[in-house]
Each structure stands twice: as structure tokens, then as C-alpha cells.
Amino acid sequence: MNIYVYIFRRILYVIPVLLGVCLIIFVLFNLVSPDPTLMMLGRHATLKQMLELRHELGLDRSLPLQYLDIVKSAFTFDFGRSWSTKQEIVEMIRNGAIPSLTVTVPSFIIALAISLVIALFVAFYRGAWYDRFSVLICVGMMSLPSLAYILFGQKILAYDLGLFEISGYEHGFPAFIPYVILPCVIWIMLSIGPDVRFYRTVILDEVYMDYVRTARAKGLSETVILFKHVLKNAMIPIITWVVIQIPFLILGALLLESFFGIPGLGGITLNAINSADFPVVRAMTILSAVAYIIFSVITDVLYTLVDPRVRLK
């Protein structure tokens, strides 16, 4: 099948998926969650105040109309205004995207490079003490919660030793760099454990395949086998693992941005949750769903580039 035809068909599949996502969002925010007017006004609010606020927010309209509003925002990216700040949500997203990307993109690229190098190294020396030690360290790193890394970084590295900025953010290059170094280091530390374990497992699965034994029988060196054959055949699960993480880069890091005072999308989302700002939370949920769908299509297309045996159907 022509790649353009395949992409067009997958884009058409986005429509029913988005409708289903909108339905789930509608049920969660309109039927399951508590009354937002009560959360915004407090438990001492009168019925009159709640009814007035419901009318102001458009919550007194029929449920089908409210669902259609969510569908419209998903296809037009017109999310309206924030309930708490009264700002255009699109403008809030535009302003928060750059701070989020300054943290997530370099962290993701560096973590990917380090994890792949370590995974290839331990796979090359599989069974040696390097391999066992790396697995032990990865499990230990994965066992610590992200909050422990954040508190250690802020207390020891930033406050006690003064190596980094504790919190804050300045717009513009290179003013933002001192403020994102520590969040980037923490992101990398959080990523290395699960990434190395995954890449190591994928590579070792290929190492024991028949074609590797055939390559050894032909006299090829372990280095050539590992980098030219094993890594190439392991690229499909690696691409899946990498590309599926990209939507989360766009949407920022909730805890990191909140603790380090970075005005990114993660912080915006967390503030919206705390203030019951449902339009902002809905907008971020829709964006995450759209990004996930788009990058799943990109993943399928990349499969054909790294493995000619894969055919688009």
C-alpha cells in the first residue's frame, strides 16, 4: 500500500477515536466528577450562588450540547477560556509550551543516548559483572519515587551545595538554561532505569536469535553483529518505546514543573486540577489524546523504514 494512502486512512480513523475520547472526557467531567461550582465556591456556597455560576459557566445547558462543545474543541482546538484566570486556553498553551519543551526535549534526547549506550555495553558483556551490576542499579533507580529525586536535588544539590537554581524560570535563550539544568538531570535519572532495562531486554532477545549464531559461524566479530545486525533488528520495539513517549514531552512534566516553578504545560495542568479549572484540564486531555494518535501513526510509518519486512496495510 502507498504510504500516503495509508496515512490518509489512519487520519480517517482518528475521527471515531476522537469521538470516543470526547465521550469519555464528557462522562468523566460532567457525570462522574463533583460539581465544579461547589469546588470553586466552597461548601458554604448558597444554592443561588451555585445556580448563577452554573449559568455563567454554561453548565446549565443540555448534556448533548455540552458534549458537542467538547467535540468541537477537539477538532478546532478552540478550548474557550479558563474558569480561574479568564485567559484564552490556546494562549495559555502557547505560552506554556516553550518552557515545557526546554526541559523535556534535551532531557529526553540525553536520556535516550545514555540509555542506549549503556544497554549496548551491558548486552555486549552480557553475563559479566557489568551486566548484573547495571541491572541492580536500574532496579534501584526505578524503586525510588520521583519525589525523592526532586527533594534530594533541591535540598542537597541546589540549597546546600548551591550547584543549581532551586526554582524559577526566565524566558529567552540563554537565560532559561540555569533554571532547567537540575530538572533535566532529575528527568534523566528517572528515565535511565526503565529505559536501560527495556533496551537491554530487547537487544538480548535478538542476541539469541538464529541469525546471530549464523553470523558468528561466518566469522563476524561481536561488535559487527551487535551494531550492524542486532541493533537494526531491535529497532521496532525501540522505536515504539521512544515515539510513544514524545506526546508526554509536549505536555510537560507535572511534578518537575510544579516543584521548580517552571511555567510550562505541566504546571498549568496541575494548577487547573487544584483549582477545578475543568476547561483547561479537558484541553490538556484532548491534546494528549490527539498527540498520542498522531505519534502512533508516525510509529507505524517508521517501522517500514527500519524493517523492509513490515508492510503497511
Query: The domain spanning residue 176 has which CATH number?
Result: 1.10.3720.10
Domain boundary among 44, 76, 108: 76
Shared-domain flag, residues 199 and 113 = yes
Indicate if 266 and 171 belong to the same structural domain.
Answer: yes
Q: For residue 313, is it within any domain?
A: no
Domain boundary among 41, 76, 111: 76
Inside any domain, residue 243: yes
Name the domain count of the chain.
2
- What number is the average pLDDT over the span 146-175? 87
Backbone angles phi, psi at 234, to 5 degrees: -90, 0
Q: Is 159 found in the same domain as 225?
A: yes
Domain span at residue 22 reads 3-76
Taking 80 as the threshold, does the pLDDT of residue 34 lie above it?
Answer: no
**DSSP collapsed to 3 states, 122-136:** HHHCCCCHHHHHHHH
Phi, psi dihedral angles at 275 (to 5 degrees): -100, 10
Asked if residue 49 belongs to a domain, the reply is yes
Predicted confidence at residue 111, as pLDDT, reads: 92
Q: Is residue 111 part of a domain?
A: yes
Residue 249 and residue 193 share a domain: yes
Query: At residue 164, what are phi and psi to the nearest 5 degrees?
Result: -135, 170
* 20 and 163 part of one domain: no
**pLDDT for the residue numbered 310:** 61
The model carries a pTM of 0.80
User: 193-203: per-residue pLDDT in tens?
Assistant: 899 989 988 88
Whether residue 208 is found in the same domain as residue 113: yes
3-state SS, 62-92, equals CHHHHHHHHHHHHHHCCCCECCCCCCEHHHH
Do residues 252 and 161 both lie within one domain?
yes
- Residue 91 included in any domain: no
Same-domain pairing of 72 and 146: no
Asked, for residue 86, whether it belongs to a domain, the answer is no
CA 13 – CA 273 distance, rounded (Å)? 30
Reading the block at residue 224, the C-alpha cell is: 559487527
For residues 16 and 70, membership in a common domain is answered with: yes
Tens-place pLDDT, residues 105-114: 899 999 999 9
The answer to the question of residue 84 being in a domain is no
Q: Are residues 241 and 110 in the same domain?
A: yes
Specify whether the CB–CB gap between 49 and 40 falls below 8 A.
no
Peptide bond into 178 cis (omega under 30): no
- In the chain the first and final C-alpha atoms are separated, in Å, by 6
Mean pLDDT score, 128-133? 82
Q: What is the pLDDT of residue 309?
A: 63
Q: Do 45 and 121 reside in the same domain of the chain?
A: no
Mean pLDDT, residues 252-261: 81
Among residues 250, 292, 294, 289, which one has the least CA distance to residue 11? 294
Question: What pLDDT was estimated at residue 28?
Answer: 80
Residues comprising the chain, all counted: 313
For residue 142, being part of any structural domain is answered with yes
Residues 148 and 217 in one domain: yes
Residue with cell 519525589: 147
